[in-house]
A and B are shown apart, each in its own frame.
Chain A
Amino acid sequence: MVLLKMKFNQQRRVRLAQGLWLLSWLAVMCGAFIFCLGVYLKTELLRRDEVMENTEIHVVPNILMMVGLASIGTNWVATRVCQDSLDASRFPRWKVLLLAWFVVAALLCCLLLAVVVLSYVLQGRLEESLKVGLRNGIRFYKDTDVPGRCFQKETIDRLQMEFRCCGNNNFKDWFEVQWVSGRFLDYTAQEVKDRIRSNVDGRYLLDGVPFSCCNPASPRPCLQYHLTDNRAHFNYDYLSEDLNLYSRGCRQALTDYYMGLMNSTGPGVLSVILIQISVMLSLRYLQTAVEGAMALEDPEGDSEGYILEKGVKETFEEVKVKVLTMMKLAQVDPEGVPVDAEAEKAADTTAEKAASPTPAS
Chain B
Amino acid sequence: MAVLKVKFTKTKRDKLAQVLWILNWISVVTGAVLFILGLFLKVEINKRVELMAERDIQYVPNMLIAVGLIACAINFLGGKICYDCVDTTKFLRWKLIMLPYIVCTFFFTFCVLVGALMCYSMRGELEESLTLGLTQAMRFYKDTDIPGRCFLKRTVDLLQIQFQCCGNSGYKDWFQIQWISNRYLDMSQQQVVDRLRSNVEGKYLMDGVPFSCCNINSPRPCIQQQVTNNSAHFHYEHQTEELNLWMKGCRQALLEYYTNIMQSIGLTVLITWLFELSVLTGVRYLQTSLENVLRQGDPDSESDGWLLENSFMETARINLNIIKSLGKNNHIHTAKNGDPNIDIPSTSKAHYGPDNVPPKTIKEAS
* A interface residues (Cβ-Cβ under 8 A, vs B): 144-145, 150, 153-154, 157-158, 161, 179-181, 183-186, 189, 210-212, 214, 216-217, 219-222, 224, 233-235
Contact = CB atoms under 8 A, between A and B. Distances in A.
A235 B189 CA distance: 13
B179 A181 contact: no
Nearest to B186: A234
A184 B235 contact: yes
A230 B129 CA distance: 42
Interface of B: 144-145, 150, 153-154, 157-158, 161, 179-181, 183-186, 210-212, 214, 216-217, 219-222, 224, 233-235
B185 A234 contact: yes
Contacts of A144: 219-220
Contacts of B210: 221-222
Nearest to A141: B221
A201 B292 CA distance: 99
A222 B160 CA distance: 15
Majority SS at the chain A contact face: loop
A32 B250 CA distance: 43
Given A154-B217, A217-B154, A221-B210, 10 more contacts: A181-B220, A183-B220, A184-B234, A186-B234, A210-B221, A214-B212, A219-B181, A220-B181, A220-B183, A221-B184
Find the residue from A211, A233, A235 having the highest chain B CB count within 10 A.
Answer: A211
Majority SS at the chain B contact face: loop
A157 B216 contact: yes
A217 B153 CA distance: 8
Contact of B221 (A150, A179, A189, A214): A179
Nearest to B151: A217
B220 A216 contact: no
B183 A185 contact: no
A221 to B, nearest CB: 5
B222 A210 contact: yes
Contact of A216 (B154, B214, B219): B154
Contacts of B180: 220-221
Contacts of A186: 234-235
A158 B161 CA distance: 10
Contacts of B235: 183-184, 186
B185 A158 contact: no
A94 B126 CA distance: 68
23 contacts: A144-B219, A144-B220, A154-B216, A161-B161, A181-B219, A183-B220, A183-B235, A184-B233, A189-B234, A211-B214, A211-B221, A212-B216, A216-B157, A216-B161, A216-B212, A219-B144, A220-B181, A220-B183, A221-B211, A222-B210, A233-B184, A234-B184, A234-B186
